[in-house]
Structure 1
Amino acid sequence: MNLAQDNRETATARDYVEAVVRRAREPMPPFGFEPDWGDQPYRHKVYTEADHLPLPRDGKPVGPLATGLTPARDAAPEFDLPTLSGMLADSYGLGVRRMGVNGNKDNEGRTWYGAATWARGTASGGGLYPLEIYLVAGRGAPVTPGVYHYYTPRHTLRRLLAGDLTGRVRDALDAAGDSTGASTANCYLLISVKLWKNAFKYNSFSYHAVTMDVGTLLGGWQTWARARGLGLTPRLWYDEEALDRLLGLETAAEGVMAVVPVELRDRPGAPASPPVLRGEPAVARTELERSRTLIRFDQVESVHLAAAAAGAAPPPDAAEAAFAIPAADDVGSIRLPAPASLDMDVRTAVRRRRSSFGRFSARRRLAADKLSALLHHGTEGGRLQTAEVRQGRHGLHRIAVFANHVDGVPSGAYDFTPDGGLHPITGDPLSPFLQQQYFLDNYNLEQAAAVLAVIGRPTAAVEALGARGYRLANADVGALAQAFYTCAAALGVGCGAALGFDNVSLRDRGGLAAGDEWPMLIVMVGHERERSAELDLRMA
């Protein structure tokens, strides 16, 4: 990529970021857009006439959530097929059908089976789950070499193309500079985003949400693998168009947004066979599209194509130094107690994970050690560790805490510091301010014990790393959200994440107006109403 093109792509991503963070004051086009719910796409990508390979059941516990959220030295990504099956099922497989009394407006429709929604272990903006997972398997794997699509409704792999195509993935990684050892892996998990599966509802804003969805999945895999004693290191820089061609995708409509090398064998440590690459075969099967009308959104496609055109991966140290945010003070004015323990198994935690949707109740205050656990484990273990950026103590984002009903913490806004301190931020009372900044009516923010705001510098990320730096920054936000959700489930605390708020007002109240920092996500935590009616129908 030449310098002029690089500047053009960076400017496109920077303009999109500015439009997103100011959308409460200056709406994004198309103005007055309303989703056509009767013409929404399939929630599960469907390839017709593709063979199903049932995945074996993983009967072993995954491991403690505390272990999964503890930063560790790199471990080998040596999976067998049951282990890979377990990680896929616990992250993106269908888990439970839930109906309950909450603040959402679509509860009545969910009582009908045709409109049922099935929860998964991974959080997703609006519950839309727009990600697709592919496995490119090579020689030595316990499946026939080829390209497979993970079909979530039946928890199967559908073979789309036979033959060892792992060399094509390696070439794509090498094009961006591979110094991670990924070229030795015999299999690769590819995560793609079908833009229409989110844009039909969120239109031009959708790209902001789906790039965080990528992070929730990668963060969940990172936690799962650590708890099992394995390691996963995602790659976000590669020749994206080459991988899109391999999967038969039109880059403007769907693109590969992450590559995760895995060593998939019948038994760990089995020797690899050298790959053989002949020609450039690609997936020729096409998916079955439910929607009669597909709408293209200019802002979504332009920022996506800008990120897809990214060149070489940035130096890890330079990338972190360019836009990492140190917390305000080394020592806070309030010291939180030691974090409450997280002994729950990861599988149990992700199966209990859910969004609270207006069920918060201030009748029970949140214990300070539970807030401490959420902040400590969420920020320490939830940071996304990619091959391109290995995060240090301060990370790419920091947390501001808006405390409403926490034991030992006066109501107010605080900067959270990594040593467990809360440093006060002066300003107006939180109530009714917080509720006034939230777009929807499915949450009462005053009833939440605390609202955690993830603070980042997305424009600086784009300037430092190019257009794909925006994806990295958002993926890190998503990984933090997934960590907060699973921590809350393990602590028996309600949780809900939201993007629908006035970024400008929240930035000003958080004391960020003088810099380029922005609140990127809010996460509400606290106890829920007791004895609320709910149906919890789990799949076998």
Structure 2
Amino acid sequence: MSIHTWPGVLPGTAAVRYAHLILDRVRDGMPNDDWKVDWTNAPLTVADHRDATLRLMDADVPADSEGTAPRALSRTIAAVCLSAYGITGPRLNINLNDRPEVHARVANVKWGRGAASGGGRYGIDLYLIHGGDDALDAGVYHFNVIANGWEQLQRHDRTREVRGFQGYVREARSYLVATVNFWRSAFKYSDFAYQATAMDVGTFFGAQWETLGDDVAGTWDMEVDETRLAALLGIDPQDQGVYAVQAWGPIPAGPEREVVRPVPAPVTAFRRDRAVVRFPTATALQDDMRRESPDVSARAKLAIVPDATVPDDAGRRRLAARETSFGRFSGESLTEDALDRVLARARSAAQALAGGSPYAPALSFLVYAHRVEGLEPGLYLDDDEGRRGLDDGDQSSFLESTYFLHNYMGRRAACTLIVCAAVIDAARAHGVRGYRVTNAVVGAACQALLTDANAVGVATGTALGFDAAAHARHAGIDPTVSAPMLMIMLGVDTPGSGRVRADMTVEMAS
């Protein structure tokens, strides 16, 4: 069913209106601020096509027994999806964010993944449109994040159709497609879900980049033909948007493959929720997305992920270890070198994603330094021109006035970053696509920063729900030029705070 329409939003204006809505949400509210979360109607955080044939992949299979031949492309892609979005293990550490039953009932335990996600709802679904290899027949598949396998939805090679939809000059052996299930997040966040899930697309790319490096730079194509790709996948774009296509494995020049045009058999995902609700903001944005035409000039610069790409084991371990510091900051200081390192890593990931877009934005950071060795306390702007001071002195009281939850101890963080980007300008110039790309770039930067920070012992906390307009005013920046979009706190965890250590030994009866 649908919630009431979004008043006063004309066709073609939804992206700009939504970007302003997010900026001013504290002052003006959202269309459905009276939305009540019904946890009994919560959708699964994974898609489970239990009626489909499941092809399991072994994430640790080497190239081959001799180490001389590349492993099947479908195994490599599955290993990357597992590292970024697969279940890595239970999150048992006590924090200030979880409901008590998470730590008291086995059925409510939270399970961690390598990529960050707005609200922990994990709205991304991953589809493989595959031409066939030694491990997986040609067909259309969905990645099962629990089993690390491909759920077979269709049994024919449809890669040339994707190439045709997208206008690619070169054909690839496989296409990985990232979609967003809006309801998976919206049941909890209503109209704010479109914002959170748009960044999730970027965090998935950032996690890919962690394991594959620059082999994936410039391969993330967000100029999608959403209507035709959704039809190929058998999904409704009003409920599940198509956000990005990534080509894997170039095909040598030669005779074109025969095209088989199947009639897709419906293989639907299992549901436990009773009803899906469509919210006016997402509906308006998706309506405009359907009207927009992709920028075909962007395709000329797109790269294809090479055949010989192999996931980096160290990167996979870094992703698995990434964790949020809900309420565990100790109040200790950071060094300026540590701050510079994570900011540089964030910019590198943003550039890796932006290489596939003609209008990806430059990022800037507001740095609220509280206890950073080498920096006097105060507010700084860090952008392509360097770092310069905007306001001297302790910023803690202002920060606390702009973040209203109690799951982080912001005053005990060493510093707070506000990631800024020209989302309103991008939405005005490029509509929903500009809005999506901008959020994805911010998400990729966030994922890289969080992962690298954890690897060097820097604790992090990230928030989407804060008073963005207040930060723009406080910093004296024009939010239509560079809008505050994400809050990231950096600090040091209290040693052992909230940590749970458990060993499990299984003994087999003789």
Report the TM-score, using the length of structure 2 for normalisation. Answer: 0.87
Q: Is 1:124 matched with 2:124?
A: no
Q: Is 1:518 matched with 2:486?
A: no
Q: Tell me what 1:257 maps to.
A: 243
> Is this contact kept in 1: 2:218–2:355, CA < 8 A?
no
1:381 offset after TM fit, Å? 3.4
Q: Which amino acid aligns with 1:376?
A: A
Q: Indicate the SS of the match to 2:17.
A: helix
Please point out which of 265, 286, 292 is paired with 1:310: 292
With over 3 angstroms needed to count, the CA separation of the structure-2 counterparts of 1:371 and 1:242, relative to structure 1, is same
Q: Deviations over 1:45-64 (max 9, x none)?
A: 12132111110223679xxx
Q: Indicate the SS of the match to 2:59.
A: coil
Q: Is 1:146 matched with 2:139?
A: yes
Q: Deviations over 1:365-384 (max 9, x none)?
A: 11221111111122123434
Q: CA separation in 2, counterparts of 1:34 and 1:198?
A: 13
Q: Tell me what 1:370 maps to.
A: 338
Q: Deviations over 1:84-104 (max 9, x none)?
A: 232111101100211223211
Q: Which amino acid aligns with 1:467?
A: V
Q: Is 1:34 matched with 2:2?
A: no
Alignment of 1:298-377 (within 5 A): 298-313=280-295, 315=297, 345-362=314-331, 364-377=332-345
1:38 offset after TM fit, Å? 1.6
Q: Tell me what 1:192 maps to.
A: 179
With over 3 angstroms needed to count, the CA separation of the structure-2 counterparts of 1:316 and 1:189, relative to structure 1, is closer
Please point out which of 206, 220, 223 is paired with 2:210: 223
Q: Deviations over 1:180-213 (max 9, x none)?
A: x4x4211000111111100000001100000100
> Is this contact kept in 2: 1:368–1:408, CA < 8 A?
yes
Q: Indicate the SS of the match to 1:525.
A: strand
Q: Deviations over 1:343-387 (max 9, x none)?
A: 99212211110111111121x211221111111122123434256
> Is this contact kept in 1: 2:191–2:281, CA < 8 A?
yes
1:110 offset after TM fit, Å? 3.7
Q: Tell me what 1:50 maps to.
A: 52
1:283 offset after TM fit, Å? 5.0
Alignment of 1:226-245 (within 5 A): 226=213, 233-245=219-231
Q: Indicate the SS of the match to 1:170.
A: helix
Q: CA separation in 2, counterparts of 1:259 and 1:539?
A: 40
1:277 offset after TM fit, Å? 2.4
With over 3 angstroms needed to count, the CA separation of the structure-2 counterparts of 1:487 and 1:507, relative to structure 1, is same
Q: Tell me what 1:289 maps to.
A: 271
1:139 offset after TM fit, Å? 4.4
Alignment of 1:72-471 (within 5 A): 80-140=73-133, 142-174=135-167, 178=168, 181=169, 183-226=170-213, 233-263=219-249, 274-279=256-261, 281-313=263-295, 315=297, 345-362=314-331, 364-386=332-354, 388-389=356-357, 396-418=362-384, 421-426=386-391, 429-471=394-436
> Is this contact kept in 2: 1:132–1:191, CA < 8 A?
yes
> Is this contact kept in 1: 2:72–2:135, CA < 8 A?
no
With over 3 angstroms needed to count, the CA separation of the structure-2 counterparts of 1:81 and 1:168, relative to structure 1, is closer
With over 3 angstroms needed to count, the CA separation of the structure-2 counterparts of 1:231 and 1:31, relative to structure 1, is closer
With over 3 angstroms needed to count, the CA separation of the structure-2 counterparts of 1:244 and 1:304, relative to structure 1, is same
1:316 offset after TM fit, Å? 5.5
Q: CA separation in 2, counterparts of 1:534 and 1:130?
A: 28
1:141 offset after TM fit, Å? 6.2
With over 3 angstroms needed to count, the CA separation of the structure-2 counterparts of 1:85 and 1:514, relative to structure 1, is closer
> Is this contact kept in 1: 2:422–2:480, CA < 8 A?
no
Q: Deviations over 1:76-126 (max 9, x none)?
A: x99734422321111011002112232114144343121111100000011
Q: Which amino acid aligns with 1:24?
A: V
Q: CA separation in 1, counterparts of 2:41 and 2:106?
A: 17
| Alignment gaps of 5+ in structure 1 | 1-6, 62-76, 320-342
Q: Indicate the SS of the match to 1:294.
A: coil
Q: CA separation in 2, counterparts of 1:92 and 1:344?
A: 15
With over 3 angstroms needed to count, the CA separation of the structure-2 counterparts of 1:134 and 1:351, relative to structure 1, is same
Q: Deviations over 1:252-309 (max 9, x none)?
A: 1112111111118xxxx87877333233633511122111122221111111232243
Q: Tell me what 1:336 maps to.
A: none
With over 3 angstroms needed to count, the CA separation of the structure-2 counterparts of 1:315 and 1:435, relative to structure 1, is farther
Which 10-residue stretch deviates more, 484-493 or 79-88? 79-88
Please point out which of 499, 504, 508 is paired with 1:534: 499
Q: CA separation in 1, counterparts of 2:345 and 2:503?
A: 28
Q: Indicate the SS of the match to 1:409.
A: coil
1:247 offset after TM fit, Å? 1.1
Q: CA separation in 1, counterparts of 2:497 and 2:230?
A: 46
> Is this contact kept in 2: 1:237–1:388, CA < 8 A?
no
Q: CA separation in 1, counterparts of 2:79 and 2:12?
A: 39
| Alignment gaps of 5+ in structure 2 | 1-8, 64-69, 302-311, 506-510
Q: Deviations over 1:441-471 (max 9, x none)?
A: 1012111111111111111101222221100
> Is this contact kept in 1: 2:132–2:139, CA < 8 A?
no
1:144 offset after TM fit, Å? 0.5
Q: Deviations over 1:430-451 (max 9, x none)?
A: 1211011002110121111111
1:13 offset after TM fit, Å? 1.1
Q: CA separation in 1, counterparts of 2:347 and 2:354?
A: 15
Q: CA separation in 1, counterparts of 2:31 and 2:216?
A: 44
1:407 offset after TM fit, Å? 0.5
> Is this contact kept in 1: 2:321–2:454, CA < 8 A?
yes
> Is this contact kept in 2: 1:251–1:305, CA < 8 A?
no
Q: Tell me what 2:24 maps to.
A: 22
Q: CA separation in 2, counterparts of 1:57 and 1:383?
A: 28
Q: CA separation in 1, counterparts of 2:479 and 2:237?
A: 38
* Count of paired positions: 480
Q: Is 1:488 matched with 2:453?
A: yes
With over 3 angstroms needed to count, the CA separation of the structure-2 counterparts of 1:475 and 1:411, relative to structure 1, is same
Report the TM-score, using the length of structure 1 for normalisation. Answer: 0.83
Q: Deviations over 1:161-184 (max 9, x none)?
A: 10101122112201xxx4xx4x42
Q: CA separation in 1, counterparts of 2:47 and 2:436?
A: 23
Q: CA RMSD in A?
A: 2.9
Q: Which amino acid aligns with 1:261?
A: A
Q: Which amino acid aligns with 2:53?
A: D
Q: Deviations over 1:198-240 (max 9, x none)?
A: 000000110000010011001221332227x565601111211
Q: Indicate the SS of the match to 1:435.
A: helix
